[in-house]
A and B are shown apart, each in its own frame.
Chain A
Amino acid sequence: MAESETVLEHHFRDLQQQREVSELGMWIFLMTEVLLFGVLFTSYTVFRHSYPAGFAAGSRDMETTIGAVNTAVLLISSFFIALSVYGAQTGGRKKLLWGLAIGALLGVVFMILKGVEYYDHYQHREVPGILFDYAKPNAHGVEIFFYLYFVMTGIHAIHLTIGICIVVVILVAAYRGRYSPLYHNPVEIVGLYWHFVDIVWIFLFPLLYLIDLKR
């Protein structure tokens, strides 16, 4: 905690440079994340092309209502995180603290609903590799659909969990008054990360839940 005396780290010229550095760093990190999820989206495309009927059948077994609610939950959480960034920039302490708190809370709500869904699929014996038993046709396609469903939403959930943890850490620091309009890089870059995780879900939801709407 050497930098608690001064927020400017020793190797930077000024706070402006320090802020630009952390922001650019986060954007590049997000670029790596795009490529990371890119592999999964590519696999999804390839196998949806190979097993269109299996993917449609798998998608019909999704809890679309929970998925839709979760989409709304994440979007609203992003609003509150954006609010907290605005609060940090303008010195609005209430906005900063409540924004982070509600954002993290909504993240937890998302995770709980996701857990309910996972449990549901387990009950229906739809967890490939652990418990999978599908008697209807297109079993191969359905199995791959559920495999990709668990991998994609699982990696997304890991990202969200990390996001929640970081937001809580930032919240504690904000509560102790670490951030000011002059120095609030951590709030800004965790905001970028949060929105990214949100956007990934915006793609996951239609691809996984809405393949065959005329059910």
Chain B
Amino acid sequence: MSSEVIADAKPPEVTVNYLNEKYGLKSWLLTTDHKRIGVLYMISITLMFFIGGFFAVLMRLELLTPQGDLVTAQTYNKLFTMHGVIMVWFFLIPSIPAVLGNFVLPLMIGAQDVAFPKLNLLSWYIYVVGSLFTFYVVVSGGVDTGWTFYTPFSTAGSNTHVIATTCGIFIIGFSTIISGMNFIVTVHKMRAPGLTWFRLPLFVWSLYATSVIMVLATPVLAVTLLLLAVERTFHVGIFDPALGGDPLLFQHFFWFYSHPAVYIMILPGMGVVSELIPTFARRKVFGYNFVAFATFGIAFVGFLVWGHHMFVAGESLYAAMTFSFLSYLVAIPSAIKVFNWTATLYKGSISYDTPMLYALGFIGLFTIGGLTGLFLAALGLDVHVHDTYFVIAHFHYIMVGGMVMAYFGGIHYWWPKISGRMYPEGWAKLAALIVFLGFNLTFFPQFILGYLGMPRRYYAYAPEFQVLNVMSSAGASILGVGYLLPLIYLLWSAKYGKKAEANPWKATGLEWQTSSPPPKENFAVTPIVTEPPYNYPTLENPLKESEQPGKQSLEEVPVG
């Protein structure tokens, strides 16, 4: 930590930044710099994303034909389980918070680092250890319980690697908890002078709400999996009816975590979109306070809806009606957000850069995913489509159409800040288009399949479903191309791309006031904030407060 020397050697004509300030593997593996930790997370998460995606590829290949011909039923069970486990815990949950959140949160609030830099690094190591468990499970034969680990199959029935998998998830839970704790304290205590709560960018609000869910929900999963492991090992416990236990209790505990976890996966995506829309529409977010409060509305009500996963599992009618009502309720704050994003576009000067394409895609796909969620919240219809491809399509519209789109949008948006280089705009637009088309071709047929009654988790199906399944598999291969392209051109651009200026999008956030890539200590001088967020000049008040269209201009560093 003796690098205050750099802060003193302020004149930044030679751009010393977080990337070139030190070299070597050790300087990365022992770093406490939130930006470097964000990059470490990005690398490991990308790896997990492609492993999880690989399992999906095998599943779609199997489903090309109605007969089970590529893999056995048992292998197929393992494929969807590993796909779910890896995508949920090792990609989606850490994706935006741990990569983008880690990188930009301190920059956005004008801080030098997160509140607990060492814990931040520890959280990455915990992530790695958890991943090693998962690698072990993958190479040693997998696990076949589904990502939900329902008892008593997981405690008494399955003879696959349940314990090792739950160990990995248990461990990675601590990484989530540490990140959440870190972000909450950072937002409370590390904000720059003048940066009041209602001057915070909406991405910070959504990271804050996400972190609250992380710290409140994750411990529940941890203990539940611990109880599961004990029950499986010692054949005594509270979940197996043969032992006097209650399998529904497991489902309650599991979904008490896993439903809020869905909001861990989508809220940060909403936050990213709330950054992208005003930047590329050159307008203040419509109804900032409503979007901020809606974030908390979703986080809060999200804790009260877990029972809608158990409508057909044997919960009482009154419980089911209550959970159904509450599930409808969560649509209100979600809709507020969608309406406010669209209202922000109204009369905006919209430019269709790649991040904006992803943001617009997000709005459309999230709306479809959200509305079909209402179908599922309806008790009667849920009985019909429960455990069918309708459910698969619904949550992939939210998780992939929503979160992954937002993640890619965010990666492109902040890529100049992260790497100091611009990505190739033409290729990026093409990839965004391919992702959008491939995604819809993959998952829209699944809505129809589910409605017609094709159950999930089967490796063979009735012949009349084949056309739609072939469409879905074709879409998946297009989607795969759309995901590989950014990997290639982003890596290419990190070395050969055009050098990025400090603020390539002419955006207002504090993170754009420092150079690209930022110096290790983020800001040469702690910024002082005097303006509300997204203070773009508009048609109505063209020059108001716009001597400095950003926040406080520190030294505008003409990099590159």
Contact = CB atoms under 8 A, between A and B. Distances in A.
Contacts of B560: none
A143 B236 contact: yes
Contacts of B190: 11, 17, 21
B318 interface: no
18 contacts: A11-B113, A20-B189, A21-B190, A24-B185, A25-B115, A28-B215, A29-B181, A32-B181, A32-B219, A35-B219, A36-B222, A39-B219, A40-B223, A42-B253, A43-B238, A47-B238, A148-B238, A151-B230
Contacts, number: 103
A38 interface: yes
B215 A147 contact: no
B249 A43 contact: yes
Interface in A32-69: 32-33, 35-36, 38-40, 42-43, 46-47, 50-51
Contacts of A28: 180-181, 184-185, 215
Q: Can you list the 7 inter-chain pairs with the closest CB atoms, starting with the nearest?
A: A129-B234, A140-B244, A129-B236, A36-B219, A11-B113, A11-B112, A128-B236
Nearest to A50: B246
Nearest to A47: B238
Contact of B224 (A32, A39, A155): A39
Contacts of A10: 1, 3-4, 112-113, 521
Contact of A151 (B177, B227, B233, B253): B227
Contacts of A20: 189
Interface string A135-149: 000001101100110
Centre residue among A32, A50, A129 by max chain B CB count within 10 A: A32
B220 interface: yes
What band does the interface of chain B fall in when counting residues whose beta carbon is under 8 Å from A? 35 or more
A31 B181 CA distance: 10
A12 to B, nearest CB: 8
A132 B185 contact: no
B305 to A, nearest CB: 17
A36 B220 contact: yes
Interface string A64-101: 00000000000000000000000000000000000000
A50 B115 CA distance: 45
B234 A39 contact: no
Contacts of B1: 2-3, 9-10
A42 B215 CA distance: 18
Contacts of A2: 1-2
B26 interface: no
Secondary structure at the A interface, as helix, strand, loop or mixed, is helix
B177 A32 contact: yes
A130 interface: yes
A153 to B, nearest CB: 14
What band does the interface of chain A fall in when counting residues whose beta carbon is under 8 Å from B? 35 or more
A195 to B, nearest CB: 19
B230 to A, nearest CB: 7
A144 B219 contact: no
B245 interface: yes
Contacts of B115: 21, 25
Given A28-B185, A35-B219, A151-B230, A132 B236 contact: yes
A25 B185 contact: yes
Nearest to B118: A9
Contacts of B116: 21, 25
B288 to A, nearest CB: 26
B527 interface: no
Interface of B: 1-4, 111-113, 115-117, 177, 180-182, 184-185, 188-190, 215-220, 222-224, 227, 230, 233-238, 243-246, 249, 253, 521, 526
Centre residue among A10, A47, A129, A155 by max chain B CB count within 10 A: A10
A46 B93 CA distance: 30
Nearest to A146: B236
B35 to A, nearest CB: 12
Nearest to B520: A10
Contact of B216 (A29, A31, A40, A144): A31
Centre residue among A33, A42, A148 by max chain B CB count within 10 A: A42
A189 to B, nearest CB: 12
Contact of A141 (B224, B244, B521): B244
Nearest to A31: B215
A91 B219 CA distance: 37
Contacts of A151: 227, 230
Nearest to B248: A46
A47 B248 CA distance: 13
Centre residue among B3, B117, B234 by max chain A CB count within 10 A: B234
A141 B177 CA distance: 34
B234 A128 contact: yes
Contacts of A51: 244
B4 A25 contact: no
Nearest to A51: B244
Contacts of B219: 32-33, 35-36, 38-39
Centre residue among A25, A33, A47, A155 by max chain B CB count within 10 A: A25
Contacts of B249: 43, 46
A33 B181 CA distance: 12
A151 B188 CA distance: 35
B220 A39 contact: yes
Nearest to B114: A11
Given A9-B117, A11-B190, A155-B223, 11 more contacts: A10-B113, A11-B111, A11-B117, A17-B189, A25-B185, A28-B181, A31-B215, A31-B216, A32-B218, A46-B246, A140-B243
Given A11-B111, A28-B215, A147-B236, A21 B220 contact: no
A159 to B, nearest CB: 13
Interface in A1-18: 2-3, 9-11, 13, 17
A32 B215 contact: yes
A129 B185 contact: no
A25 B215 CA distance: 11
A53 to B, nearest CB: 13
Contacts of A21: 115-116, 185, 189-190
Contacts of B112: 10-11
A39 B255 CA distance: 12
Nearest to B221: A39
Centre residue among B115, B218, B235, B246 by max chain A CB count within 10 A: B115
Given A10-B112, A17-B189, A21-B189, A39 B223 contact: yes
B31 to A, nearest CB: 13
Contacts of B223: 36, 39-40, 155
Contacts of B237: 147
A51 B218 CA distance: 29
A110 to B, nearest CB: 22
